Chain A
Amino acid sequence: MRSALTIAGVSVAVAAVVALVGAVGSFERQLLAVFQNRGIDLVVAGATTVQRLQSSLDEDLGRRIARLPGVKHVACALIENFSFPELDVLGVVVRGLEPNSFVLDEVALIEGRKLEPGDSDAMLIGKVLAKTLSKRAGDQFELVPGRHFRIVGVFDSFNLLESNSLVVPLAALQDLMDRRGKATVFMVVAADSSQAAVESLAAQIKPLAPNIDVLPARQYVDSLIEVRLARAVAWFTSTLALIVGTIGVVNTMLTAVFERTRELAVLRAVGWRRATIVKMILFESALLSMIGAAVGCAMAWLLTQLLRLTPTGRLISGEIGWDVVAQGCVLAFFVGIAGGGYPAWRAAKLLPTEGLRHE
């Protein structure tokens, strides 16, 4: 019973690591894919903004970047987050893009058409969000009270983040948010994608405006406060769970050592070395933890599926990477070793003569 409870404790800790850290990792990977799959070499965003997704840059900067030699494409994007509590849908990313932006070149339409120049109230909707909201091409959607957009197309995407997003004309979103002439980021594709050429291009862009960061996509994603916060919260929660799991292992193994005092004394009496006793206790605690890890991974999968049912769960892919599973297992192993360490030391310290007298 005690072992079962310890396994349960470790499995909760591992489930927290695998589910939370895994979900954050999956979100990061998808965000990165938004840039990398379109060959975006550099992202230009406000340097002083704590929340980069709220940075406000002059739209004109995009035109100046486009004029630089070595630039193949520049896309200007205004990014906003909308929630529709009445529809039980939170955290929908709305991207304002120029209809002829290269970002929309490879949009895979499954219904309707793309945005066209001159569209002012048109909207593209990702397939997963369309399904959640029960919308299709031709339907109207009220983005903010009193402001309706016409859904002109439904697109599919390899990327869950995109598949859960809305795209509207840049000018329309600027009007709606009262941010005329403003953009959140510029996405730059270099003519030459070699590292030296990209670095040189970044150096040319940097002086074009004060307080901007010109970053490769990976660095940009890493710098997002939302990602960093999510990562920190996931690890904080997981660390707490791991500490509780370790305490559980210590408690179980200490009790086991106490209960088996005479048994351990007999082993010492018949010639077992202290090191062998230590190894035996550590093996037992590591085994408990690894069983906990296996159960925890299964729980994490279940937890992920449950999280997908929450209002923001649309952004969770539900896939658990082997790297995260391995991370959970390695941590469980260390929980076992850390939790078994003190009991093993106590067991090794036991004098056979004392142990044999133990009732």
Chain B
Amino acid sequence: MNNRAAETPRHIALSNCLLCAERLSKFYPDGRVQALDDLSFHIARGEYVAVMGPSGSGKSTLLNLLGALDRPTSGEVYFEGKPLAEFYPWDRFRCEQVGFVFQSFHLLPALTALENVQIPMLETRRSAAERKATAEALLELVGLASRRDHLPQALSVGERQRVAVARALANNPPLLLADEPTGNLDSAAAEAVLDLFARLHSERRLTLVVITHDSALSRRAQRLLRLKDGRLIADEPAGGNGPASRR
């Protein structure tokens, strides 16, 4: 168990720590449903972490808090040692520091793969030519250069998810958060996505936090966080390469 009753530091001094959750709790608006209960952990820069737990254990809520999509009822998330509150407005934080991958891909159906990848870049000062070049390079990276002008419905589900990964990397964020990224994929497509994650982790030193029910995915991560009823019940090394973070 990693719940800590220690005093919450305003600035976390651990230089290698990218994300730090300190005593996170989340109640939903009626105040009766507690999705997270006093969660604390650190994630080091470049770490590959899987989060597992039964439905309703608070996994997606945790991901929302780590990605500044929602705010905790109490506790604090620190990013590079600073509380997320200091990064407000969070739109910019999400734009520059976080890439999201969703179970249902959430690509815009009217846009081609190339255009979908450029969406996060529209909030930056990059020129149209730069945006296009970056998107092309990212589609190349995920092995979809030849599918760049296809609409999502013309792509297989596995290809859609790889486009979504390319979109998540558009602004070169240090952190990638994925919510059940292989949940809608067949085993071959899931394997391709997991290979991609592994490459991103090893080659780009990307920090990955992946929610999953997929034990194959969790085995590829370096570290596994297990949740149950909104509580962290285990923080243990998984089967992946590289050192697990130290608290």
Contacts of B70 in A (CB 8 A): 351, 353
| Contact indicator B122/A269 (Cβ below 8 Å) | no
Other A-B pairs, 7, CB within 8 Å; known A270-B94, A271-B123, A356-B69: A267-B119, A268-B91, A270-B167, A271-B92, A273-B91, A353-B70, A356-B102
- From B100, B123, B171, A273 is in contact (CB under 8 Å) with B123
- From B67, B91, B106, A266 is in contact (CB under 8 Å) with B106
Q: 6 tightest CB-CB pairs across the interface, nearest first?
A: A271-B95, A271-B94, A270-B120, A266-B106, A273-B91, A353-B70
| Contact indicator B91/A271 (Cβ below 8 Å) | yes
Indicate the member of B69, B94, B108, B123 with the most A CB atoms within 10 Å: B69
| Contact indicator B96/A271 (Cβ below 8 Å) | yes
| Contact indicator A271/B69 (Cβ below 8 Å) | no
Is B89 at the interface (CB under 8 A from chain A)?
yes
Is B64 at the interface (CB under 8 A from chain A)?
yes
| Contact indicator B95/A270 (Cβ below 8 Å) | yes
Knowing A270-B167, A274-B91, say if A352 contacts B69 (CB, 8 Å): yes
| Contact indicator A272/B69 (Cβ below 8 Å) | no
Residue of B nearest to A351 (CB): B70
Knowing A263-B108, A272-B122, say if A353 contacts B69 (CB, 8 Å): yes
Contacts of A276 in B (CB 8 A): 122-123
Cα of A268 to Cα of B68 in the assembled complex, Å: 11
Residue of A nearest to B108 (CB): A263
Contacts of B167 in A (CB 8 A): 270
Residue of B nearest to A352 (CB): B69
A residues 244-275 near B (Cβ < 8 Å) are 262-263, 266-274
Cα of A272 to Cα of B100 in the assembled complex, Å: 13
State the Cβ distance, A39 to closest chain B Cβ, in Å: 60
| Contact indicator A272/B91 (Cβ below 8 Å) | yes
Residue of B nearest to A262 (CB): B106
| Contact indicator A271/B102 (Cβ below 8 Å) | no
State the Cβ distance, A289 to closest chain B Cβ, in Å: 21
25 contacts between A and B (CB under 8 A): A263-B106, A263-B108, A266-B102, A266-B106, A266-B108, A268-B91, A269-B67, A270-B94, A270-B100, A270-B168, A271-B95, A271-B96, A271-B98, A271-B120, A271-B123, A271-B171, A272-B122, A273-B89, A273-B123, A274-B91, A276-B122, A351-B69, A352-B69, A353-B64, A356-B69
Contacts of A263 in B (CB 8 A): 106, 108
Residue of A nearest to B61 (CB): A353
B residues 86-139 near A (Cβ < 8 Å) are 89, 91-96, 98, 100, 102, 106, 108, 119-120, 122-123
Contacts of A268 in B (CB 8 A): 91
Cα of A291 to Cα of B69 in the assembled complex, Å: 37
Cα of A272 to Cα of B90 in the assembled complex, Å: 10
Residue of B nearest to A268 (CB): B91
Residue of B nearest to A271 (CB): B95
- From A262, A270, A353, B119 is in contact (CB under 8 Å) with A270
Cα of A267 to Cα of B91 in the assembled complex, Å: 10
Knowing A262-B106, A263-B108, A353-B69, say if A269 contacts B94 (CB, 8 Å): yes
Cα of A270 to Cα of B165 in the assembled complex, Å: 12
Cα of A346 to Cα of B167 in the assembled complex, Å: 26
Residue of A nearest to B70 (CB): A353
State the Cβ distance, B94 to closest chain A Cβ, in Å: 4
State the Cβ distance, B55 to closest chain A Cβ, in Å: 14
State the Cβ distance, B240 to closest chain A Cβ, in Å: 26
Cα of A351 to Cα of B67 in the assembled complex, Å: 13
Contacts of B171 in A (CB 8 A): 271
Contacts of A273 in B (CB 8 A): 89, 91-92, 123
State the Cβ distance, B87 to closest chain A Cβ, in Å: 12
Residue of B nearest to A272 (CB): B123
Cα of A276 to Cα of B120 in the assembled complex, Å: 12
Cα of A83 to Cα of B159 in the assembled complex, Å: 76
State the Cβ distance, B120 to closest chain A Cβ, in Å: 4
State the Cβ distance, A270 to closest chain B Cβ, in Å: 4
Cα of A232 to Cα of B23 in the assembled complex, Å: 67
State the Cβ distance, A60 to closest chain B Cβ, in Å: 79
Cα of A267 to Cα of B94 in the assembled complex, Å: 11
Contacts of A270 in B (CB 8 A): 94-95, 100, 119-120, 167-168, 170
Residue of A nearest to B171 (CB): A271
State the Cβ distance, A264 to closest chain B Cβ, in Å: 10
Residue of B nearest to A270 (CB): B120
State the Cβ distance, A94 to closest chain B Cβ, in Å: 64
Cα of A352 to Cα of B171 in the assembled complex, Å: 19
Residue of A nearest to B123 (CB): A271
Contacts of A356 in B (CB 8 A): 69, 102, 106
State the Cβ distance, A293 to closest chain B Cβ, in Å: 24
Contacts of A266 in B (CB 8 A): 102, 106, 108
